[in-house]
Structure formats: structure tokens, C-alpha cells
Structure 1
């Protein structure tokens, strides 16, 4: 359903648009146009049927001016170097928007984790870790979970890296299980950030979160957590989808019952308190809030004119193409970009990293309070930039983020 658009080309378009808007120093623009380094690895994994299969993995550092590299690792069949470079770029901007002391990174392996058993997944993860270990370290590059990976994946990465170093290194990854140094509140942090930003966006326009209608594309880690928090905030969740299909209920889905259904069946499809919905139709429902929390390039120049939602809060990375952005802005749809809307995950990853370095841990309520403070502050700064420059939220977020990175690049200068 998505138009063909190279992910990194899309990211560069977004950078070029804001560079022109803020008269960015051409030298700084030149630095930001390219990643600092990109590593591609090909490695074998012994499958349980006795065969050996080759996999391709990536790790990209976009810019490290503001601190060590931070970014998730995804296991997905369509992962390629262009996607990983774009995601690393967006991480650079995202960390700067919420003012975290990190640069942007991203990694991934082209694989379908659903086609691998647990032992194969562990072997793949550990071998991939050894291949990219030259880049990793708590003061160099700190991975986190992303699409197709989770706390267990991070535990394997941490253990493999620790074995290579000869000592336990909890701060080398974030998104770990609590038992080995993970942070309270990390699992639902991205979804919680999405809901916080949605609330602040509505408030800035004189509206309230309770009784708002919501459609959530993607019922994975981000979408499911966001849906539950929207539900608890008094919203009416009319539709949700996953990779197998979509469901709809005009009067609102009971998200707690839906969670139980998904645990039993592995999908939202067939939920008794719903009717089936064509997955693409979810994007066109006349709801207050549309939450794309699945893949990139879901809203494109081909379908953006069908969108009837008043607000789009990007739970996924890069779900809206530049062409779609223009159509949506012309229609008066408020789009809150990924680099702000889904920054809750990296924010609590920052908390986990700090806790790991200090071996001093915070309660879930403390984590959630600190997350709320950072997200509300970041929204206020982006909203102020939007008013000052008379622009949309994506442009405003890039003005804030690129501005901070540019300031750091200028301050440090070029070595030698």
C-alpha cells in the first residue's frame, strides 16, 4: 500500500527542508547528511534441522557529537541498510529533541523472528552481537529493543558482550529484564510517551483526552501499551490492527479483554467484541486520534487524502512520507512526528543506562514522573518553535533537534 520511497532519501528530504527553513550552516548540513559509520555483517547460524543459514546484519552510527550512540535493534525481513541509516538519523534528531546526551544509532538483522525457534533466535542474536561488538560499549554504543526484539534479546546481547569483556556490563544495553538491571517502566515507556504527547497536543488546541476516539495501527509493544493507556484515560478505542488484520467497534473496544484475547490467540483478529475491518481502512476512520504504530511509509501521497483523523501521533518511526505530510498539512490534520511522539522509549532507556552506570535504581513511579516531565517539556519547546516559525510540528521538532545538534557540532569543531 505504500509508495516506493527509499527511507534514507526520505530522511534527507526532511533534513533539507528544515536546513533551508533555519538557514542551517552548509558545513553542518554536510556533516548531518551522512552517517559517521555503517557496518554490514554476514554471518552463519546453525539451524536445528542441521543446515547452516547465512544472515545479514547492520549497525549504523549517524552522529555522536552529543554523546554515545543510542538506538534499537530490529529483526525484520525487510530490514536493509537504507532503513537502518534513516532510523539512525531519526535517533540523532529524537535524542536532541528530548535533550538526551546521546547520538543516533540503529541496528538490525534481515530475518523473520517468527520463523525461528527460541534456540535459533538466541544463536542468531549472540552471533550478531559478536560481529558488531567492536562498536558496542556503555560509553560507545548502547542498543535497545525495536521491532522483532525484546528484553530477552537484550539479555542475550548483554551476556554475549559481557563474556567477551570478562565482566558483567549491564549498561551496554537498555530494555533488559528487571532481574539483570532493567528499569521499571521501560516496557510501556514508548506507548506512555505517545499518550502524553497526544494529551499535550489536544490541550494545546483546547481539547481534552477523555472521550476522544482513537484508532491504533499496530498492536505490538508500542501500540498495545498506548491503547491500554488511552483506554484508561477515558478514550474510545474504535479500531486496532496487527500483522494479521484489523478489528473495529464503533462504541469502543475493551482493551483489557482484547489483551487477554491476544495472549490466548496471538492476534487481535476474531476478537468477539468486534467486527473485522480491512487493515488499510483503519487509516481512514473519522477518529480524533490516529496512532500509526507499525511500519514506515504507511501514510503516503497515494492515500493521505483519505485520512479523516484530526490528529496523527506517530508511534512508529517514519510512518508518514514527505508527500503525505504536505497533503495532511493542507487538509488541516495535525501531525505530531515520531522524533517527538515516540521518544518515551529512548527517554526511559536513558534512565536505565544511568541506573546501570550507577547501580542505583528508581521506582516505577519515579521513572514515570521523570518521563512525564521530559516529554511535557519537549512538547512545550516544539510547540513554541511551531508558533515562532509558523510551521507544522514536524518542522518545529526538526528546528529544535537539528538546532541542538548543529550547536554541538559548531562548538566542538572538526578534528583535526
Structure 2
């Protein structure tokens, strides 16, 4: 707790990573509601992060800061106090007896209202002599060696790979589809979804309001907004068809082309995904508050005949749909990929940013990861980013193919399969990390050689990686790599005998 905020940090493993979110309140009633739910929201976000982190060595974590009602404008001050407190706990102190004898390593990522503060946190950790300051935060500016998710579309790369994978299974062409999207061109997910996709987008909902055109919004204009990172209120209205419209959150008693009167633009924006006009082949939530679709309102995503308004939903935004609502929608025929699977690309990028920060010396990091004032980018950095994107897409495909096989074979909802895959991988990784196998030198070297991006392996060498990266981090990396490859490759029905055979194959090839 601080003067400006009430804060929490929850993690599921000793080595963990997750975003830090700052929550603001517009009124006393909203503040009291946020105060009552902030810990639960934090726990649910960390739990989702734990499942999402199944492909990486770091366990799930999340931090939340609820600004006190009188301190709504003190975002930076609250964040500084929060980071100071975390470092107090992480840094060793001579006057504190450590009875556990283990090293806690936290990595923080950007989330709501903290993206611009990642640079400060890393540099401040360096000033406080935190050994792993270069890796303390992810999503940093390129000028201090970071790999921002939004710049390269890391999270969206995974989300869109799921979209393409689903469409392939259903025999659909992306260019022929209609789509509704929440989260606009001013945000990370929203802007990159616009730039990566080729569908006919009929609606984009963002902080400014609702932009809609049944004939499809002009893609060139959407792309312009996405590149400029501005909201849909900047869309050139002359490019809308006669039935298209924009309704801003401040609009009152606005009349739509069909004669409908919108009495409150903010309410219209918040609930537009339930509106009959919001009917399309594909729905990709890239923004919105947690629980926007829940057990009390999910039926509003059905039309008058009780059929789903959206054939496919790929949940880019965290917790946009509650689990019980997901299951009901799947029962009614929606192909739904939940957040913990769909948007895990960002955490993969962050983890590989951490890995490079730990493996490179300060001199190597400065030379190969930092983008100088002249804007010059090293060949290593360019190649490393490309390899991160390839890994994100490969992981998305691997998980989807397993989910689809299991779904087709046993008719288990995809939402439950996503959970089961995460649980199996995490349980296998935990068991592997606790066993002697993770310390087997030949196996360890083989696995690290396989999972390390070629650019990093060639620059640093496996010996330096094994010497420089913290041992418990390497333990987690080896365990997670073995677990993901085993479960994705052998399936959920694989047992202990199958695992023995899998390890035997690895050892023979080592």
C-alpha cells in the first residue's frame, strides 16, 4: 500500500513474469467497485497468465495498482512507489535473514497505463544495483534494448495465427469474411489486427466510440489510423456508405441511418457487441473490460432465431468473456479460442527478450540489442525479432492443432481443452524441474541448443549461455521446453511410459 494506491503482486512460481496494470476510477461508486474486486481481478489475471505462460520458463504473475480516488492523476508517482517496494523485496539485505536460500527473479511487463514506464523501471533497477536489471522489464524502448510488442505485432501475430488456423479448418477464406473488432487503431492489438488482417471489417469499437459500415470499412483508411495510432473518431466519414455511421461516447440522441436513436453514446459503445448490427463471421475482441460477456448476458450474442451472431470468436483481449459464457457459446456452435491460448504471443516475445538480456554481456547487449540515436539496427536484432515471430506462430499452430484434434475426437469444448493443455504442460514442467533429469548435462545442453533462437546461439555460444544465465532460469527453460514438445507432440492422452520414451529419444540424439 502506498499514499497514492492500493497494490498487489501475485505470482505462481519463483521465476515469474507478467504485466503491471494501473486501474483508475471515474467516480466514487466506480472506485468502491474497483476496490472490492481489485484483488480478485489481480488473481484472475495472474491465473490466466500462468496458463498463458505454458510455453515459456517464467511462471504467471500480475501486478495491479488501484489509484486512490484523490490520486487519479498520480500514475507515475504510484508506479515509482510500487517498483521501489518490489525491489526492496527482491534485493538481498544483510540485516534480513534468508531462511529459504533461493533466488526470486521477477520480470515485469507493460499493461494498462504502464507501457511508457517500463524504461524507467529497468533503469531504476539498474541504479539500485539489481543484477538482472536489463531483464527486469520487457516491452522497453529499443533505445535501451527492448522489443516492444506493438512495434512488431508480437501479441497480434499469435492471435491472427489462430484466426488463420480456424479458418483453414472451416474451409473459409479470410478475404471473404466479415469481422467485428473491439479495441481500436490506437492500441497495440487493435492497430496490428487491422494491419495484419485481410477481412471485411464492418465495425471497430474503441475508446472514442463506434465506427460501423455494413459494406465494410475502408481498409486503407483503417490502416492509416492504425499506422498513426489514433482512434476511430479520426476516420474520414466521407468514406462511409449511406448506411455507415460513427457514434462517439459523448453523443446524445444521435440518429442512425436506419432511424434508430442512440440516447447515450457511451452506453452504445459499451454494449455494441450485443447490438443486432454487430453480426459477422468473425469477432476479435482486442480491447474491452474483463467480463464484458458473462453468464448474465451471453445470450445477447445470439440472434432472434437463437443462432450465434458470430461463427468464430478469437479472444485477443484478456478475460473479455468469462469461462461460463465461453462454454455456453460453444454449446451453441461458436468456434471460440480463449485468451490464454490466443494472445500468448506477447509473453513469448517478452520471455525471449528476457533470455537475450540474461545471456548477453553488457557490452554485447549494448552493441547488438540497443538501437542508437542514429536509428541503426544491428543485423542480430533484426534476425532475433524475425525468429521470435516465427516461434510465436509455431507455438500457436502447435497448440491449436492439438486442441482441434482433441475437440474433433472427444467433442470437448475448446475453452476446456485450452485449460487442460496448460495444466498438463505446467504439471509436466513442474515435475521435470523437480527431477534429476533437468540437471543431466547432456540432456540439458541438447534441449538448450534446440530451444535457443539460432541468432542468439550463434552470437553467444551454448557454453556462455549455460555460464551466464541463472541456473534456476535454465532449469525452468529446460523443463518447459521438454514439457511443451512432449504434450504438443504426443497429446493429452500421453502417459508416463510415453514420457520415458520421449526422454529416451532426446538422450539418444544428445
8 Å Cα contact 1:76/1:112 also seen in 2: no
Matched residues, number: 352
Larger relative contact order (Cα-Cα within 8 Å, sequence gap ≥ 6)? 1
Indicate the SS of the match to 1:201: helix
Q: For 1:321-340, list aligned pairs within 5 A.
A: 321-340=322-341
Question: Does 126-135 or 162-171 show the bigger shift?
Answer: 162-171
The corresponding residue for 1:58 is 8
Kept in 2, the 8 Å contact 1:122–1:156? The answer is no
Partner of 2:2: 43
Q: CA-to-partner distance for each residue in 1:206-244, whole Å, 9 max, x for gaps? A: 2232222111112222122212211xxx21111111123
Q: CA deviation at 1:111?
A: 3.4
1:93 aligns with 2:51: yes
* 1:135 Cα deviation from its structure 2 partner: 5.3
Cα pair distance change 1:243/1:128, threshold 3 Å: same
Instruction: Assess if the C-alpha contact under 8 Å between 1:125 and 1:156 holds in 2.
Output: no
Deviates more, 1:329-338 or 1:354-363: 354-363
Does the residue aligned with 1:60 lie in a helix, a strand or coil? strand
Give SS of 2:7's match: strand
Give, in whole Å, the separation in 2 of the partners of 1:385 and 1:80.
35
Structure 1 residues 172, 270: closer, same or farther in 2, change over 3 A?
closer
Write 1 or 2 for the structure with the bigger share of helix: 2
Q: What residue in structure 1 maps to residue 426 of structure 2?
A: 405
- Give the whole-Å Cα distance in 2 for the aligned partners of 1:390 and 1:302: 25
Match of 2:246 among 273, 276, 282: 276
1:23 is matched with which residue? Answer: none
The 2-side partners of 1:224 and 1:262 are apart by 4
2:294 counterpart (297, 300, 303): 300
Q: Is the 8 A contact 2:150 2:188 kept in 1?
A: no
Moved more, 342-351 or 70-79: 70-79
Gapped regions of structure 1 (runs ≥ 5): 1-41, 45-53
2:170 to 198, 205, 215: 205
Q: Name the Cα RMSD after superposition.
A: 2.8
Confirm or deny: 8 A CA contact 1:310 1:334 kept in the other structure. yes
Larger radius of gyration: 2
The CA distance in 1 between the partners of 2:358 and 2:349, in whole Å, is 14
Of stretches 152-161 and 323-332 in structure 1, the one that deviates more from structure 2 is: 323-332
Q: CA deviation at 1:258?
A: 3.7
Residues 411, 169 of structure 1: CA spacing in aligned structure 2 closer, same or farther, 3 A cutoff? Answer: closer
Alignment partner, residue 113 of structure 2: 148
1:320–1:156 CA distance, 2 compared to 1 (3 A): same
Alignment partner, residue 305 of structure 2? none
What is the TM-score with the length of structure 1 in the denominator?
0.77
- Once residues 326 and 168 of structure 1 are traced to their aligned partners in structure 2, the CA distance between those partners, rounded to angstroms, is 42
Which of 82, 101, 115 is 1:128 aligned to?
A: 82
Please identify, of 235-244 and 256-265, the stretch whose mean Cα deviation from structure 2 is larger: 256-265
Deviation (angstroms), 1:175: 0.8
In 2, the alpha carbon distance for the partners of 1:338 and 1:82 equals: 18
The 3-state SS of whatever aligns with 2:232 is coil
**Are the aligned partners of 2:150 and 2:189 in contact in 1 as well (CA < 8 Å)?**
no
Deviation at 1:374, TM superposition (A): 2.0
Cα 1:185–1:56 change in 2 (3 A) is closer
1:177 aligns with 2:141: yes
1:221 counterpart = 2:168: no
- What is the TM-score of this pair, normalised by structure 2? 0.63
Are the equivalent residues in 1 in contact too, given 2:349–2:392 (CA < 8 A)? yes
1:345 positional shift: 0.7
CA contact (8 A) 1:240 1:282 kept: no
